[in-house]
Amino acid sequence: MNKITVMIIDDQPYFRAGVRQALSHQSDFKILDCDTPEDSLALIDAELPDVVLLGSDLSTTNGLELGRKISLHYPNCKVVMLSPNPSDTELFEIIKSAAVAFLSKSTSSEELISTIIRVSRGEYPINEHFMTRPKVAEHVLKRFKDTSSIDNAFKFVLAPLTHRETHVLNLIAEGQSNKQIALTLRISEQTIKNHVSAILRKLNANDRAHAVALAYRQGLIPSEEQP
C-alpha cells in the first residue's frame, strides 16, 4: 500500500512540530516539513505530496494566495487549510482558493488524521462547512453561475504546466515510457504517474498521445522536435 505523503507548510516552528507529533503514529503517512512558505512551490514540485496542510492567518492574504497557487499548478495535491475559525467571508475566500478542506488550528489529532485520509481518497470535506452556512452557499452558487460559461481553453490558460510537467511531456513525446522517464529524471515511477495525471487533467487530454497532440497545438513542444 502506498503511503500518503503529507506536507506541512507554516512559518511557525512550534505549530509544525505539533502537527508532526499528531501524525507521528500513522505508519501509512510520509511527513514532509516546509519551514519557509516562499520555498514551498519548489518543494511541492520536487516531492508531489498527496496532501498539503497549509497554515494560514486569514488576517493576511499570503496563505490564501499560496493555496490558490498550489491548487492551480498542482491539481493532484489536495490543500487542507488550517487557520482560526473563519467568518462567512473568510470561509468563502478559502473555498475560492480551491482548498478541499478547512480545519481549525486547534482541531483534534483524530479529526486531522481522518480529514487527511478522506481528502486523499478524493473527498471534499469543505462542502460540509458551506452547506450549513447559507450566506456562504449563496456566494458559492452565484460564483458558479458567473463562471459556468468558461470553456476548456480558458481553463487551460489558468492552469499552465509546471517546468517539470513540461519536461515530462517532452519525454513522452520522445516515446519514453513512465519507467524510462523515471530513470531519466531519477525519481520514482509513481511520481511520474502523478505528473502524467496532472498533465492530462490540465490539458483536458484523454491519454498520453492526445496530450502530446494538444501540446504541439498549444506550442508547448517546439514543432521541430516532432518525431
pLDDT 10s digits, 7-58: 999 888 888 899 999 999 999 999 998 877 677 888 898 889 999 999 876 4
Please state, for a pLDDT cut of 90, what percent of the chain lies above it: 23
Q: 4-9 and 51-55: which strand pairing? A: parallel
Q: What is 125-142 written as a DSSP string?
A: TTHHHHTT-HHHHHHHHH
Angle in degrees, CA 176, 168, 36, rounded to 5:
150
- Burial class of residue 147, CB neighbours in 10 A (0-12, 13-18, 19+): exposed
Cβ pair 99, 79 in contact under 8 A: yes
Fold of 4-147: Rossmann fold (3.40.50)
Its CATH architecture, for the domain 152-225, is Orthogonal Bundle (1.10)
pLDDT digits (tens, 9 = 90+) for 103-159: 888 889 999 999 999 999 888 887 676 556 656 655 555 554 454 444 444 344 445
What per-residue confidence (pLDDT) applies to 223?
54
Alpha helices in 131-207 (DSSP H): 134-147, 152-158, 163-173, 178-185, 189-203
The ranges assigned to domains in the chain are: 4-147, 152-225
- Per the structure block, which three cell numbers stand in for 172? 513522452
Which three three-digit cell numbers place residue 19?
A: 502537527
